Structure formats: structure tokens, C-alpha cells
Amino acid sequence: MRNLTVGDVMTTAVLTARPAMPLKEAARVLAEKHISALPVLDADDHLVGVVSEGDVLLKQGHQIPRRPHWWEGRRRRDTLRRAAGDTVGHVMSAPVETAMADDSLARAARLMTELGVRSLPVVDRHRALVGIVSRADVLSTFLRTDEEIRAEILGEVLVHLLWQDPTGIDVGVHDGVVTMTGVVGERSTAETAERLVRRLDGVVDVVSELRHRVDDGGLAHPR
């Protein structure tokens, strides 16, 4: 059983910016290409930041620049410094959270939710940009059909991983919600089946009504 990773769904043809790019040019690219952010690369093509629609709006919202006062909070002083610049390097957000190609989609989704961002740059171990993953990319995993999910449960989970006879188990999938009924050998097998199915891409919820012939204590039973 293989879950999709960031590398499976990310976009590899990524528009980028350089720190010296004029802010107006970055704004034009964002508007014309209908994207929310541009990864910013240094001379060695390593990721150094991200310039987003929000960063451009920061400049627009401070049309009368002024020097920050020492008594203002750190975040406020940083905002004023960034707003005073006219290049991507001045206003970009840095450092920036990233994903790696072998990260799970669950980790990418959690990061985007926690950070309140629409996308994450994807880098290799040298911080070189290899792609970008968006909320839409992650959500695409939920577009798997019920038939595809059911086929993976029967063939991959039950037969290949758990060595179960699928003819004794009824599996139904409706709008991503999986229902399993039938009889398996051990209680631990029933619990394992539910856990594995919950991890499948596209599964929204699992209703397991699997019964067992032998109570081996379940997954918590010491072996």
C-alpha cells in the first residue's frame, strides 16, 4: 500500500523571482499568471524566501513610508522596514517553511493549515527548489472515485497485506466513506484493517462492523 506523496502531486514547472526583481514586476507576474506566491531564489538557485500577494499588499498599504520608532514592537518595526523597500528582496517573507518531495500529503496539508498559506515550496536536501505544492494539489487526492478506493481496499489491504479472503467481507464506499462488514479471524486483524483503510488517499471516514472469530486482545495485546 503506497500513499501519494508531495512529489506525486506537486507542480515542477515553477515561476520564480530573484531578490533584485522590482516589486512592480513581481506584482505583474502574480496578477497575469493568477498565482498567489513566487519562490525567491539566490544566485545559486537556493530558496531564500517567498514573495506573495500579501507581501505586495504590504507595500501598497504603506504608501507613505517612515522610519520605525524604537518603542514600536518588533513585528511592527519589521513591517515598516519591509514596506519601505521596492524590490522582492525587501518585502519577501523569510525564512520560509518548505516541504520535501517524499513528505506525506498529510504533513503538507497540516503545514499549510497551520501557517495559513495556499502553497509550499518543495526543496531537496540542499534547499534547491524542485517544485511547489498547493492546497488544490492536496485536495486532488479526494477526487479518487469510490470504485478506485474500493478496489484498493479489496486488492491491496485485504488480500495483499492482511491475507484475507475478500469474498467473506463486504466493502462499500460512498462519497469516500467506507463501510466494512463481515468476519475475519482475529480481533487484531479487524482493527488493523480499519487503521490501514483510514490511511488510504481519498478516504473520508470508516465505519467498521467487522466481527472476529478469535479475541487475541487486539492491537494492544503484547506479543
> Which of the pair, 5 or 61, is modelled with greater confidence?
5
Task: Read off the pLDDT of each residue in 182-198 and give the average, rounded to a whole number.
Answer: 94
Is-contact 51 91, C-beta < 8 A?
A: yes
What percentage of the chain's residues is helix, strand, coil (to nearest 5)?
40, 25, 35
- Predicted local distance difference test score (pLDDT) of residue 116: 87
- The correct CATH number of 6-141 out of 2.30.30.40, 3.40.640.10, 3.10.580.10, 3.40.50.150 is 3.10.580.10
Residue-wise pLDDT for 15-26, tens only, equals 999 999 998 899
pLDDT higher than 70, residue 181: yes
| Protein fold of 144-214 | GMP Synthetase; Chain A, domain 3 (3.30.300)
Is-contact 145 170, C-beta < 8 A?
A: no
Domain boundaries, the chain: 6-141, 144-214
Q: Show the 3-state SS of 13-80.
A: CCCCECCCCEHHHHHHHHHHHCCCEEEEECCCCEEEEEEEHHHHHHHHCCCCCCCCCCCCCHHHHHHH
Are β-strands 169-174 and 129-134 bridged in parallel, bridged antiparallel, or unpaired?
unpaired
Task: Read off the pLDDT of each residue in 160-172 and give the average, rounded to a whole number.
Answer: 93
pTM, two decimals, is 0.66
- Predicted local distance difference test score (pLDDT) of residue 82: 57
Integer angstrom CA distances of residue 142 from 116, 135, 202: 20, 12, 4
For residue 65, what are the contacts with CB-CB under 8 A and spacing of at least 6?
A: 80, 83, 84
pLDDT higher than 90, residue 152: yes
Is-contact 102 6, C-beta < 8 A?
A: yes
- Predicted local distance difference test score (pLDDT) of residue 62: 46
What are the phi and psi torsion angles at 181 (to 5°)? Answer: -130, 155
pLDDT tier for residue 80 given thresholds of 50, 70 and 90: low
- The residue count of the chain comes to 223
211, containing H or E segment: strand 205-214
What is the share, in percent, of the chain residues with pLDDT greater than 90?
52
**Cα torsion angle, 96, 97, 103, 104, sign:** negative
For the chain, give the mean pLDDT: 85
